[in-house]
Structure 1
Amino acid sequence: MIGDRQCNKKVTRSGNSRWQCDRCNQEFEECDYRYLLQAQVQDHTGLTWVTTFQESGEEIVGYSAKELYFLKYEERDDVRFAEIICGSLFREYLFRLKIKEEMYGDEQRVKITVVKSNKVNYFWQNTPA
């Protein structure tokens, strides 16, 4: 915990099968697995790369980050892992995006982050109140 908030910084495995947080300078038995997903999205105007985090990552992939981690690294089921990832390709979503320009060195870049994602529901009906 950092103050009253949970520290969500990246952790690395230390030599004794524990997790080391560089920000907190502590070791932990377990950690929370979280998404940091890079995806290419496309609409009628073209395509671009976006970054998505925990909640949107779960919506897109359909599994929690912890479930995918254990499938890939504990159960070592690469075939099932690939099926899950491929199953999330070419799906339609409505995205709320945060777009900002940044300077990286002397180069100006656009950074696009998914704030919220929802699967497209073609059967949703607007019923009168």
Structure 2
Amino acid sequence: MWYRGCKTCNKKVTEAMDSGYWCEGCQKKDDECSLRYIMAVKVSDSTGEAWFSAFNDEAEKMIGCTADELNMLKSEEGEGNEFQTKLKEATWSSHLFRVSVSQQEYNSEKRQRITVRGVAPVDFAAETRLLLQDISKNKTSQ
């Protein structure tokens, strides 16, 4: 669900020989790194389902905490098991997604890559007003 990232540039780091972490992007060694989300998320609605790629900022909005915080919960693994609880809370929760879609070819097979660019909670009141406007427009046009 996450990778170890440089605190400066967010690129993936590797463990240094002696101690700390080496960032290829910054060309420097640091004592600490941060965990950053990189997730494949299955999303479904009334029309079907699709796999989305979600990265750190958007994934934090879906999970409700940072990757560092979730990793701490995972390492505690106590009686309450807050790690599993946090993931279950994120499962089947409603969100509005802004996505980008690109075509890619892999082994002569075309695939769609859907990336989450924005996440927002569903505003049910606003959605209801929009549906009511659509209904009233359709009634007046008939």
What TM-score do the two structures reach when normalised by structure 2? 0.73
The 1:105–1:60 alpha-carbon spacing in structure 2 relative to 1, beyond 3 Å, is: same
Q: Which moved more, 1:18-27 or 1:110-119?
A: 18-27
Q: CA deviation at 1:46?
A: 0.7
In the alignment, what sits opposite 2:30?
Answer: 28
The 1:34–1:47 alpha-carbon spacing in structure 2 relative to 1, beyond 3 Å, is: same
Q: CA deviation at 1:16?
A: 4.1
Partners of 1:44 and 1:12 lie apart in 2 by 42
Partners of 2:50 and 2:17 lie apart in 1 by 39
In the alignment, what sits opposite 1:44?
Answer: 46
The answer to whether residue 28 in structure 2 is matched with residue 18 in structure 1 is no
Q: How does 1:66-77 map to 2 (within 5 A)?
A: 66-73=68-75, 75-77=76-78
Of Structure 1 and Structure 2, the greater helix share is in 2
Match of 1:95 among 97, 108, 120: 97
Partners of 2:73 and 2:81 lie apart in 1 by 10
In the alignment, what sits opposite 2:65?
Answer: 63
Percent identity over paired residues? 32
CA RMSD of aligned residues (A): 2.2
Flag structure 2 segments of 5+ consecutive residues without an equivalent.
Answer: 1-7, 130-142
In the alignment, what sits opposite 1:115?
Answer: 117
Partners of 1:114 and 1:59 lie apart in 2 by 11
Q: CA deviation at 1:109?
A: 1.4
What TM-score do the two structures reach when normalised by structure 1? 0.80
- Other structure's SS at 2:114 match: strand
Count of residues paired in the alignment: 120
Flag structure 1 segments of 5+ consecutive residues without an equivalent.
Answer: 1-5
Q: CA deviation at 1:30?
A: 1.1
Partners of 2:70 and 2:17 lie apart in 1 by 23
